[in-house]
Amino acid sequence: MNAPDRFELFVLPDGVKKLTITPDTKIPNAATFKVEKEDHTLANMLRMQLLEDPKVLFAGYKMPHPLDHYFILKVQTTPDTTPAHVLGNALTELIQNVGSMKNKFEMELIRAKSEAQKIDNGEGEDLSSHQVDMDF
C-alpha cells in the first residue's frame, strides 16, 4: 500500500539534478560527487577508472542506503588538477573503451555468423581455432 514505486530506482524526478559537485571544505583538491538514480554498475566502473589515473590520490564510492537510489563518489587529486577534471577524463576514457568494445563485438559477430554460414554450406574450413556452434 505504502510501498515505494519501483521506477524510483531509475527515473529522475523533475527538478532533481543528476549530478551535484560539493567541494571538500577540509581536504585540498577533494570533492564529493552525488549521482542520482545510478547504482554500482556506474559507480564501480568510475571508481576503477579513476584509480588508474596517477593524479588521483583517492577515489571511493558508496551507496548510503538501499532505499535511496543514488551514490556518492569521493575524489582527491594532486594540486595540478581538479576532481571534476579527472572525472571528466575517466568518463572520456570509459566511453572510448565501451565504444571500442562494441565495435569489436560487432566485428566478431560478422565473423561468427559467416563461419556458421560456411558450416551450413558444407565448405571445408578449419574451425579448430575458432569453433562456433550455431543452430538457427
Residues at the interface with another protein (CB under 8 A): 6-7, 9-11, 17-19, 21, 23, 35, 38, 40-42, 44-45, 47-49, 52-54, 82, 84-85, 87-88, 91-102, 104-109, 111-113, 116, 130-136
Minimum distance from residue 64 beta carbon to another protein (Å): 19
Cα–Cα dist 134/74, whole Å = 47
Q: Which residue has the cell 569521493?
A: 74
Cα–Cα dist 7/44, whole Å = 22
* Residue 60 grid coordinates: 571511493
Minimum distance from residue 7 beta carbon to another protein (Å): 6
Residue number, 40 or 118, with CB nearest to another protein: 40
How is residue 56 annotated by DSSP? Answer: E
CA 11-46-65 angle, to 5 degrees, is: 50
Residue number, 41 or 121, with CB nearest to another protein: 41
